[in-house]
């Protein structure tokens, strides 16, 4: 007869009922369930809930840490929770968040002055976003293009827009009308009429399509969503000359590439001439929604009260934060840091390109970097997320890096180490496109070549 102790050792007794239960299934995150059920399905997102950030890092709700080389898509230029920005937000939120544009506030005028100093332009209109700035600029171009003898409501002779192939200008109706990428534009056709697209950096095509009916040439100084393609000096100069010759406006969309991203205040400042209208947004208020239209005195002289307006644009809180953002860029000498860290990134990426033959090209201006692959980029973005690195992919084949201006040399090294692991592992899952390789925009002036 077995003793109780020997039965216990041999497993002869029945185990406790609780031990026979299967492992519990992880409880679904209620926040993700709410998002799935109640949000419009406009985004394809991983099942991760980001909770907070600090400096160049973001943390999810489980506490996992990510090196942020996407920066809220070029928005979080100072990283996350910059102490000076947090201080201004707390101070002004306790004073006045919104006052309406029927009255002056303390910060709108000083911010406009600062932007005029940075850009060399004269006047500013504040918006809520970049795409709203695009639509406002289109209105200004049509307004300026209307001759004095053409009454309001009658078709104007100067009404056409020339925009560039491979462009992306936003999601509102006017913005998609000047966006060449068909997946953004065609589902909403017919769009605003009078838009024609010019081959990227093709001076001859620009000359052929330009005439006296064009009210504006609209371009991104560096195409962002299109894959980090900078406009060439020859194209910019010819666009400037043709716009002047025909009494048209040159509009520079620097919503993504402006405000320091390329190592200059604005990307167009590498050229010898200025645009008539400059459009900015993304990092302007350090993560709060604020955009702006900057223009010349000549354009501004055509505007009178009531012709344009906004409810939220240029409120006291966001303008105070934007002023602080510009002062931080100056005080911390961040343009110099952008240039230095950008050079380190390009050098490190060139070494990776020598190892991985599916890297076709590296294109970069400051901390605006695109790595074009000969295989699809989505597996690399997913692998990066798993390894604690935030990046994204544009046009299916270009990995895009938009780190904050505050990144350090050590964080560049950390990024390159993580990216090397990502490239080595995700390449096993990536597929080659049916055409064999992705196509670059026609007429593109290559910015930087691998190796």
Provide the 10 A C-beta neighbour count for residue 420: 15
pTM to 2 decimal places:
0.90
State the Cα–Cα distance between residues 36 and 41, nearest whole angstrom: 8
Where are the extended beta strands (E) located within 29-155? 50-54, 57-60, 65-68, 123-127
State the Cα–Cα distance between residues 397 and 388, nearest whole angstrom: 21
Residue from 411, 420, 347 nearest 79 by CA: 411
pLDDT per residue of the chain (451 residues) written in tens, 0 to 9: 344 444 334 444 444 444 444 545 567 899 999 999 999 999 999 999 999 999 999 999 999 999 999 999 999 999 999 999 999 999 999 999 999 999 999 999 999 999 999 999 999 999 999 999 999 999 999 999 999 899 888 889 999 999 999 999 999 999 999 999 999 999 999 999 999 999 999 999 999 999 999 999 999 999 999 999 999 999 999 999 999 999 999 999 999 999 999 999 999 999 999 999 999 999 999 999 999 999 999 999 999 999 899 999 999 999 999 999 999 999 999 999 999 999 999 999 999 999 999 999 999 999 999 999 999 999 999 999 999 999 999 999 999 999 999 999 999 999 999 999 999 999 878 777 665 455 666 555 443 332 2
Supply the pLDDT for residue 155: 86
Q: How many CA atoms lie within 13 A of 374 on its CB side?
A: 10
Provide the 10 A C-beta neighbour count for residue 416: 16
Domains and CATH numbers, the chain: 48-80+334-426 (3.90.1150.10), 83-331 (3.40.640.10)
């Amino acid at each position: 007869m077995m003793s109780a102790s020997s039965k216990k050792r041999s497993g002869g007794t029945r185990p406790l009922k609780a031990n026979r239960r299967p492992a519990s299934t992880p409880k679904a995150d209620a926040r993700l369930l709410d998002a799935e059920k109640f949000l419009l399905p406009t985004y394809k997102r991983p099942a991760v809930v980001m909770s907070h950030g600090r400096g160049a890092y973001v943390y999810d709700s489980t506490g996992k840490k990510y090196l942020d080389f996407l920066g809220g898509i070029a928005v979080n230029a100072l990283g996350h929770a910059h102490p000076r920005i947090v201080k201004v937000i707390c101070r002004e939120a306790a004073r006045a968040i919104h006052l309406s544009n029927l009255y002056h506030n303390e910060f709108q005028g000083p911010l406009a002055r600062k932007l005029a100093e940075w850009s060399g332009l004269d006047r500013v209109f504040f918006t809520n976003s970049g795409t709203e700035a695009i639509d406002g600029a289109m209105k200004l171009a049509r307004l300026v293009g209307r001759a004095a003898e053409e009454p309001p409501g009658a078709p104007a002779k100067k009404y056409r827009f020339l925009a560039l192939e491979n462009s992306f200008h936003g999601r509102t109706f006017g913005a998609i009308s000047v966006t060449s990428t068909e997946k953004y534009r065609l589902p909403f056709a017919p769009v605003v009429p009078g838009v024609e697209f010019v081959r990227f950096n093709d001076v001859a095509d620009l000359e052929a399509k330009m005439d006296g009916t064009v009210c504006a040439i609209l371009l991104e100084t560096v195409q962002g969503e299109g894959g980090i393609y900078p406009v060439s000096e020859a194209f910019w100069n010819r666009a400037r000359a043709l716009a002047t010759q025909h009494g048209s406006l040159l509009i520079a969309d620097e919503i993504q590439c402006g405000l320091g991203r390329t190592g200059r205040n604005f990307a167009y400042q590498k050229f010898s001439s200025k645009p008539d209208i400059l459009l900015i947004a993304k990092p302007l208020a350090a993560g709060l929604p604020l955009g702006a239209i900057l223009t010349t005195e000549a354009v501004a002289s055509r505007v009178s009260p009531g012709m344009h307006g906004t409810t939220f644009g240029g409120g006291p809180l966001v303008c105070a934060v934007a002023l602080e953002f510009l002062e931080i860029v100056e005080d911390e000498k961040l343009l110099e840091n952008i240039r230095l860290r950008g050079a380190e990134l390009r050098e490190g990426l060139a070494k990776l390109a020598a190892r991985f033959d599916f890297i076709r090209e590296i294109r970069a201006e400051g901390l605006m970097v695109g790595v074009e692959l000969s295989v699809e980029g989505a597996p690399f973005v997913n692998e990066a997320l798993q390894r604690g690195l935030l990046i994204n992919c544009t046009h299916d084949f270009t990995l895009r890096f938009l780190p904050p201006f505050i990144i350090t040399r050590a964080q560049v090294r950390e990024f390159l180490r993580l990216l090397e692991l990502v490239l080595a592992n995700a390449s096993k899952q990536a597929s080659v496109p049916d055409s064999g390789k992705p196509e670059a925009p026609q007429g593109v002036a290559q910015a930087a070549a691998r190796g």
